[in-house]
A = this chain, B = another copy of it.
Amino acid sequence: MKTKLLFPFFLFLFCLLTNAQTTGKYVLVIHGGAGGMDENMPDSLKQEYLSSLNKALEIGEQILANDGTAIDAVEKVINYLEDNPLFNAGKGSVLTSEGKAEMDAAIMSGKDLSCGAVTGVRKIKNPISLARAVMEKSQHVFFAGEGAEKFAKEIGFKFVNPKYFIVENRYETWLKEIKKKKKGTVGAVALDKFGNLAAATSTGGMSMKKPGRVGDVPVIGAGTYANNKTCAVSCTGWGEKFIKNTVAFNVSAMMEYKNMNLRDAVSEMINNRLSPDDGGLIAVDKDGNFTLQYNTKSMLRGYVTSDGKRDVIIWQK
């Protein structure tokens, strides 16, 4: 074989081998928070939510369809939702009782259980990306508050002014609806073509929460969990209840130890362990089965799969 043919040949071989290792199958499921959205909301706003969920799915599908990884897909999907002021994460986060945005986020790879989480960050545009940096570039897995931002600075993360997160609407809400609690989070779970699962969740937390309150989102096993042996889970709702019930890991444990299927394990958590109006979760298992369940009035959600399933939904269908 001529030397100049060697490179293309090896490239061909590499592609062949890489391709052989993929299943060709991918699944992406997302949520934009469980809560009590009014079905009589203006159609224009409804459309804004649905088109935002659609856009998020597109971003993730683009990655997964092109042989990208589940961890990249969930991070980029969450980045989009964090930047979108309609959702309670990143820009548009709800505010603490002191009128500040304090954000939590966590990401986990089902391949090796590696994970990263941050709580109480105030100046990081995309908390989920800082959580990923904690996972990949730190000897620790979980950082709080100023320490999280100190780590961010060390590794050269860009900071934004805390005012960036506060959209007028949220501030007015804060002024008006003192003590009326709001739920909401954004999350994504994915199965990639390599059979790897990943989960990511990001949130501004509970409206009017006390400063320093840590919710379920950054608590690995409570609001976020992924394990290639079982499933990937991202939760949304009343964080305290999700911590007490170790919800995300519990779904995985029921599958691993009790041989329950994904749908039944999630249903057990949502309908029997949690109480009405506590929240919801999305999950995908190692075989690509997925489920989106909640016990609130609404859950912003959507999914897309390699075999052509796709939808975005707010209320019960």
Q: A142 contacts which chain B residues (CB < 8 A)? A: 213-215, 219, 243
Q: A52 contacts which chain B residues (CB < 8 A)? A: none
Q: Are A253 and B257 in contact (CB under 8 A)?
A: yes
**Which of A87-95, A147-155, A193-201 lines the interface with chain B?**
A147-155
Interface range for A: 35 or more
Q: A211 contacts which chain B residues (CB < 8 A)? A: 146-147, 150
**Which of A160-168, A184-192, A244-252 lines the interface with chain B?**
A244-252
> Smallest Cβ distance from A277 to chain B, in angstroms?
16
Q: A148 contacts which chain B residues (CB < 8 A)? A: 212
Query: In this assembly, does A71 line the interface, its C-beta being within 8 Å of a C-beta of chain B?
Result: no
Chain A at the B interface: SS class? mixed
Q: A150 contacts which chain B residues (CB < 8 A)? A: 210-212
Q: Are B220 and A243 in contact (CB under 8 A)?
A: yes
Given contacts A120-B144, A210-B150, contact A244 B220 (CB under 8 A): yes
State A139–B138 Cα separation when bound (angstroms): 32
Which parts of A105-126 form the interface with B (CB within 8 Å)?
113-115, 117, 119-120
Q: A225 contacts which chain B residues (CB < 8 A)? A: 246
Residue ID in chain B nearest A253 by CB atoms: B253
Please give me the 4 A-B residue pairs with the lowest Cβ-Cβ distance, nearest first: A147-B212, A257-B257, A253-B253, A142-B214
A residues at B contact (CB < 8 Å): 113-115, 117, 119-120, 138-148, 150-151, 209-215, 219-222, 225, 240, 243-246, 249-250, 253-254, 256-258
